[in-house]
Amino acid sequence: MTSPLAPGSTIGILGGGQLGRMSALAAARLGYRCHVYAPEADSPGMQVAAARSVAGYEDAAALSAFAAAVDVVTFEFENVPAATLDILAPLVPCRPGVEALRIGQDRLLEKRFFDSAGLPVGPWREVASRADLEAAVAALGLPAVLKTTRLGYDGRGQAVLRAPEDLDPAWERLAPRPLILEAFIPFEREISAIAARGADGAVVTFDATENRHHHHILDLSIAPAQVPAEVASAARAHVARLADGLGLVGLLALEMFLLPDGRLLANEMAPRPHNSGHWTMDACLCGQFEMHVRAVAGLPLPDPARHHDAVMKNLVGPESYARWPDLAAQPGVALHLYGKSEARDGRKLGHATRLLAKGSLASAGDPAALAPV
């Protein structure tokens, strides 16, 4: 695929969650049709799609039919089974690309890739056996964080080890193996940055964002991160370097720890739109979902040009979601709801972003006080 996709073309999206939904909405604005492929019929993405395949990720016949019906395929989650990619990739252009997905779904490959790209990372060890765990703890000390290398998200698949007696239960509980042990990083803040890389290799980055979590789930994003200018530009440079190194076509989000001495350590990456970039939909001329669609469709990538400061609040679980009528009534707040049929605890059901005059966060005190509630 060398020339940009013409309006009216069809973008295939694998996955039916909110990231696919918001990508499909951005694609529709540019005149594209989206065909969503997911196992669940009434998923957030399906609700806004022009065409749908309700089928499993390893259903070869359904995947082949999907590939034949679309002009390009993208993914709204990184844990795409290898078998799925093996079927799709020979049939249709897949973006961000097989390599980016392969590395993004495995913490060990990710850490090695950060190292090879020259990004600073905290100390870590691969843990394939109980003896490895003993040795890793001896090397890194306690506290430390033991994580699965695959299929972990929102704090699932990890355990903080504080004392020797924490090793056995964590080793028994965490699967699949191998695991990874990371030194516990006494970070001051968590920062993320998102890059988009186009089919022509051009890279743009969004402003660095500060993220605050509640029960391991993103609660607030503050943009731009209120950090020294050199920290913010280092965060953007790190993610741009990774996007280039992966040669991906699409978006790459990088989560980092900011240490008290101003250094950044890379933690985790995701080759897709990211929750910490939701503020860009309302505070930038071209938000992350449009940027994703543009990259996937081979369109030029504009400067994201943030025109407001922003504080994004995730609506997680029924209690938070129940506030939607108030949020819908607040001036200066952009509300996004994902159409999920069940408002379960711990589920991301929507988000709300308060827009503030550009530059005003710097003198606004604690940005958390400005979160839409």
| Complex with ligand AMP: residue 155 or 201, whichever CB lies closer | 155
| Complex with ligand AMP: residue 323 or 347, whichever CB lies closer | 347
| Complex with ligand AMP: residue 31 or 141, whichever CB lies closer | 141
* Helix, strand, coil percentages for the chain (3-state, nearest 5): 35, 30, 40
* DSSP state string for 295-357: HHHT-------B-EEEEEEEEEHHHHHTTHHHHHH-TTEEEEE---S---TT-EEEEEEEEEE
CB 260, min distance to ligand AMP, A? 13
Class of residue 357 by CB neighbours under 10 A (exposed 0-12, middle 13-18, buried 19+) = exposed
| Complex with ligand AMP: residue 184 or 324, whichever CB lies closer | 184
Q: Which residues contact 47 (CB under 8 A, 6 or more apart)?
A: 21, 339
Is residue 298 within 8 Å of 5, Cβ to Cβ?
A: yes
CB 133, min distance to ligand AMP, A? 15
| Complex with ligand AMP: residue 106 or 190, whichever CB lies closer | 190
Query: Of 157, 154, 130, 296, whose CA–CA distance to 214 is shortest?
Result: 154
Question: Which residue is it, tokens 């999920």?
Answer: 340
Largest Cα–Cα separation, the chain: 60
CB 152, min distance to ligand AMP, A? 6
Binding site for ligand AMP (CB under 6 A): 122, 145, 152, 155, 182, 184-185, 190, 213, 216, 255, 267-268
CB 183, min distance to ligand AMP, A? 6
What pairing do the DSSP bridges indicate for beta strands 33-38 and 250-258? unpaired
Is residue 35 within 8 Å of 54, Cβ to Cβ?
A: no
Report d(CA 293, CA 105) in Å as an integer.
Answer: 21
| Complex with ligand AMP: residue 157 or 350, whichever CB lies closer | 157
CB 221, min distance to ligand AMP, A? 12
| Complex with ligand AMP: residue 207 or 255, whichever CB lies closer | 255
CB 211, min distance to ligand AMP, A? 7
| Complex with ligand AMP: residue 216 or 307, whichever CB lies closer | 216
CB 25, min distance to ligand AMP, A? 26
| Complex with ligand AMP: residue 21 or 107, whichever CB lies closer | 107
CB 255, min distance to ligand AMP, A? 6
Q: Which residues contact 172 (CB under 8 A, 6 or more apart)?
A: none
Is residue 316 within 8 Å of 349, Cβ to Cβ?
A: yes
| Complex with ligand AMP: residue 122 or 245, whichever CB lies closer | 122
* Backbone dihedral angles phi then psi of residue 314, each to the nearest 5 degrees: -80, 140
CB 253, min distance to ligand AMP, A? 11
Is residue 126 within 8 Å of 178, Cβ to Cβ?
A: yes
Report d(CA 370, CA 313) in Å as an integer.
Answer: 10
Q: Which residues pair with 146 in a beta bridge?
A: 159, 181
CB 331, min distance to ligand AMP, A? 32
